[in-house]
Structure 1
Amino acid sequence: MSQRDRQMWDAGRFWQTLTYFETIPVVSWFQKMVFGSTPPPNLQPQADVLFDFRQSNAALNQTWGALDDVVMGGVSNSSFQLNEGAASFSGIVSTANSGGFASARTRNFEPPLNLAAYTGVALRVKGDGQRYKLLLRDEDSWDSLAYAYSFDTIAQEWVTIQIPFVQMVPVFRAKTQPTARSLNSAQIRSLQLMLSKFEYDGALNLHFTPGAFCLRVEAIEVYK
């Protein structure tokens, strides 16, 4: 990569990301001792709804945070904010500095979500024609195995995406793990929405365009 293709890496955002998700034990302990800690709300399905972004939710920033390629030296920048009756996962995704993904992830649920009585997750979304991913984790470590499902959007149209747990693919950093166990739906620790230039195992996402993006989310539900 030539020098002109590189962009300035934002160390401040890198640090904010790590501290928000409490990935550095010593720093996390210091923050709690000095500044206190605001844990994410205890989340359990209410009438099969996990998140209803059509209603004002003052606790959104306590639960959801941006997790972009700044953690690996990239310069993509996203946010997850309430806007006109939905949450907007939006920003700029860039392939500079060998980056190419933006995401919004919840902090770990405590206690974990027990979704064993359900078949899967349903998303009510309006996208921009790109292919996104939903990832679930059933372990509380930062860089653990995830279970992914890719879904396409229709530009400027609301659609409902049903994602069966049994069809979610075990991945580690976008590499499939064929011998991994199945998702433990009785112990869901976190959710993540992602836009990435990669699909899986190095293959490119054919429905990806760098630059501005926006995925609006009305609700995240579970179904039987």
Structure 2
Amino acid sequence: MRADVAVAGSGAAQISALLMRLEEERGGQVVEPVFDFSEPGCDLSAWGALDDVVMGGVSQGQISLVNRNQLDQQAVFAGVVSTDNSGGFSSVRTQNFEPPFNFSGWMGLRLEVKGDGHRYKFILRNNAGWDSPAYIYGFDTVADEWISVDVPFAELVPTFRARSVPDASPYESAKTVSFQLMLSKFEYDKRLNPRFTAGPFKLAIKRIGLYRVQQDEAILQA
């Protein structure tokens, strides 16, 4: 994994990550961190806020690192989402990865998150354009509980400006240009988010990583 994104760590945090990987391998899967927000020296400079203010709304969100240099260090996406002025979403998005990530051979992304009961979106793109097609995956959170969320590349829904594009090409994992996390009133095609409520929100993220079935496991199942 590229060193500018997968931040190397040491000490207890590194041991914890190693134990987590060994546990996943025993379960027949391999997990490789992409963003590990629990590691010492973690940098959030690749991430920035993108809210409905671009459409005249008033929602506000940000991402920050909390419990810095402690065992429970994590990133937190938090703020207030409002439906005033026809708004209703808050998000954080990475800068474009240059060059794009090649995730060939991996099944998808795994998020380790602690939410507030809201339903969020994880969004990926194959195109560097700011207003480009987006591939989305909605996931529910459990209030104040850490959970693992798998985002299978094969289940990403292609959309453009919040409308699904049924005839779009499947997501190209070999050309991953950016990540985005979003809380929105809508899912896509004007479908309402069933868990949306305006007001404060908070999503803690420990890691974003890749997962796949172990090679020997895949051979046995073939």
TM-score band (shorter)? 0.7 to 0.9
Partner of 1:176: 164
User: Over the residues paired in the alignment, what is the CA RMSD in angstroms?
Assistant: 1.6
> What is the alpha-carbon distance in structure 1 between the residues aligned to residue 74 and residue 7 of structure 2?
18
Structure 2: tracts of 5 or more residues without a match? 9-30, 68-72, 213-222
Partner of 1:138: 126
**Quick one: structure 1 residues 57 and 208, their matched pair in 2 at CA, closer, same or farther if it must change by over 3 Å?**
farther
Partner of 2:23: none
Q: SS of the counterpart of 2:176?
A: coil
Partner of 1:30: none
**Quick one: structure 1 residues 133 and 192, their matched pair in 2 at CA, closer, same or farther if it must change by over 3 Å?**
same
> Residues 42 and 111 of structure 1 are in contact (CA less than 8 Å); yes or no, is this contact kept in structure 2?
no
Q: SS of the counterpart of 1:192?
A: strand
Please state how far the C-alpha of 1:59 moved relative to its aligned partner. 2.9
> Residues 78 and 103 of structure 1 are in contact (CA less than 8 Å); yes or no, is this contact kept in structure 2?
yes
Partner of 1:97: 85
Partner of 2:49: 66
> Could you state the TM-score of these two structures normalised by the residue count of structure 2?
0.79
Verify: 1:53 aligned to 2:62, yes or no.
Answer: no
Partner of 2:17: none
Partner of 1:204: 192
> Residues 53 and 86 of structure 1 are in contact (CA less than 8 Å); yes or no, is this contact kept in structure 2?
yes
> What is the alpha-carbon distance in structure 2 between the residues aligned to residue 188 and residue 176 of structure 1?
19
> What is the alpha-carbon distance in structure 2 between the residues aligned to residue 199 and residue 109 of structure 1?
25
Match of 1:80 among 59, 63, 77: 63
> Residues 42 and 110 of structure 1 are in contact (CA less than 8 Å); yes or no, is this contact kept in structure 2?
no
Structure 1: tracts of 5 or more residues without a match? 1-40
> What is the alpha-carbon distance in structure 2 between the residues aligned to residue 140 and residue 71 of structure 1?
18
Q: SS of the counterpart of 2:168?
A: coil
> Could you state the TM-score of these two structures normalised by the residue count of structure 1?
0.79
Please state how far the C-alpha of 1:173 moved relative to its aligned partner. 1.7
**Quick one: structure 1 residues 45 and 186, their matched pair in 2 at CA, closer, same or farther if it must change by over 3 Å?**
farther
Please state how far the C-alpha of 1:44 moved relative to its aligned partner. 6.2
Please state how far the C-alpha of 1:76 moved relative to its aligned partner. 0.4
Please state how far the C-alpha of 1:58 moved relative to its aligned partner. 5.3
Deviation string, structure 1 residues 182-217 (Cα, Å, up to 9, x no partner): 111001000000000001100110101100000000
> What is the alpha-carbon distance in structure 1 between the residues aligned to residue 33 and residue 206 of structure 2?
11
> Residues 43 and 109 of structure 1 are in contact (CA less than 8 Å); yes or no, is this contact kept in structure 2?
no
Q: SS of the counterpart of 2:175?
A: coil
Partner of 1:188: 176
> What is the alpha-carbon distance in structure 1 between the residues aligned to residue 172 and residue 6 of structure 2?
16
> What is the alpha-carbon distance in structure 1 between the residues aligned to residue 7 and residue 189 of structure 2?
33
Identical pairs, percent: 51
